[in-house]
Amino acid sequence: MKKLNLLAFCFFVMAAAIAQNYPSRSNVLWVTEPDHRDWLYQLGEEATVTVSLYEFGMPVDAKTITYRVGPEMMPADQEGTLTLKDGKAVLSLGTSTAPGFRDCWFTAALNGETYRHHVKVGFAPEKLEPFTEFPEDFVSYWEAAKKKAAACPMLIEKTFVPEYSNDHVACYLVKIQAFEKGQQVYGYLSIPKKEGQFPVVFAPPGAGIKPMNPMKHLFYAESGVIRFDMEIHGIRPDLDAATYKEISSAFGNGDKSYLVNGLDNRDNYYMKKVYLSCVRALDFLTTLPEWDGKNLIAQGGSQGGALALITTALDARITACAANHPALSDMAGYQADRAGGYPHLNRFNDMLTPEKINTLQYYDVVNFAKLIEVPVFMTWGYNDNTCPPTTSYVVYNVLKSEKEAFITPINEHWVSEKTRRVILNWIKSKLK
């Protein structure tokens, strides 16, 4: 196992294009430094952080701030106040006797405004194991489902999209019939405008029902890699934002969202169509005359990271997988009194019943990850509360194939432009 640690703990007093923990265009800046450079501790070892608060680039002195500390995604088990001296204070986060993370939230009031900040540290996360069980018929269930879905004819509509094309890239909006007759998914296909055959990257989307724009990943095709940014709901991705907002509202949110639709029965769960449509997308991509016939890589973040790993397990045509902070991972982990995966079903009534937990076993990333045989690259941040680091570690720990982790501790639910390039470079390193 190869593990890289990116300790991106430099901070900028002036406005910088950094999100969440380090918001741009803010007069106030928090900096929290764990006493271990890798943010990790052994079980039973005390973790200590130094917290600093700056306003207009200068330390805020003699200011009282409040804090809450507790296990990741769980109620706080200690809270209190600290007084900043020369803009700094030191706080013990305690320890943990079980593998996982502890989270510390800070709050300060300045000039009538409230500013919040949080930071997590880990305790032997390499020892984390899934709560989710592996059903005896898991493999046979999905083999039968794939066989049935494969009987659906593949119908393709492909339309050139000039606004997402340039001198180096041709972009197409593609409509694919998938899963069963009358069902479809869409995607933007970006192909290098030059002679030759190229690797293909299959890129499923993050969670939600929203418009798509392939521009931020156009550098893939500009670098000589075909990329397919997939839509999973059967809704044209070029509709305007207002229309998508109406569609999303009609689908429902929270305990009525598509991620819980049909969860009482494994055959009726909404995500079955999604998983099998991802396989159908590969059926299309492997027919492209521009494909090199060898390299088919799955790549995505959050829900897209989950779908990238799941599709890799379902289809032997995929040769490598890169996933950022995957969602849908150990979703029932809250039953073990620790953080579980997005969509955090513990927040909704009657969502972690025995029947629903049984369905989740057939759809959870951790069970698909156990079947992967090709190289996997994963990246995640410790301060992520959407896809908690506990669940990323659980997935990473069960992988038996060649694997590499690129950990960016300060990150919340985002990756930097630098990390996007690191992912592409890793993909290129795995080309045959």
Burial of 6 (C-beta count, 10 Å sphere; 0-12/13-18/19+): middle
Please name which of 362, 350, 224, 356 lies closest in space to residue 290, comparing C-alpha atoms: 224
DSSP 258: G
Take residue 256 and report the two structure tokens written for it: 């009525």
What token pair was written down for 275? 């998983």
Show the beta-strand stretches assigned E in 17-112: 28-34, 40-41, 47-55, 58-59, 64-71, 78-83, 88-94, 100-110
Token representation of residue 265: 């029965």
SS3 for 11? Answer: coil
> Do residues 306 and 291 touch, judged by C-beta distance below 8 A?
no
Taking each helix axis from N to C end, the angle separating 138-150 and 270-285, rounded to the nearest 10 degrees, works out to 60
> What is the bridge-based pairing of β-strands 226-231 and 156-160?
unpaired
Phi, psi (deg, nearest 5) at residue 419: -65, -35
Tell me if 178 sits within 8 A of 280, measured CB to CB. Answer: yes
- The secondary structure element, H or E, covering residue 115 is strand 113-123
> What is the number of other CB atoms lying within 10 angstroms of the CB of residue 413?
21
| Contact yes or no for 300/203 (Cβ under 8 A) | yes
CA–CA gap between residue 231 and residue 212 (Å, rounded):
8
As given in the structure block, the two tokens for residue 79 are 């809270």
Which residue intervals of 106-200 are DSSP H helices?
138-150
Sheet strands (E) in 283-415: 291-301, 320-324, 376-380, 403-407
Q: Which residues are catalytic?
A: 302, 384, 413
CA distances from 115 to 42, 65, 279 (A): 31, 10, 45
Contact between residue 154 and residue 280 where contact means Cβ atoms under 8 Å apart: yes
CB 94 within 8 A of CB 73: no
Q: How many whole angstroms from its chain centre is CA 134?
A: 22
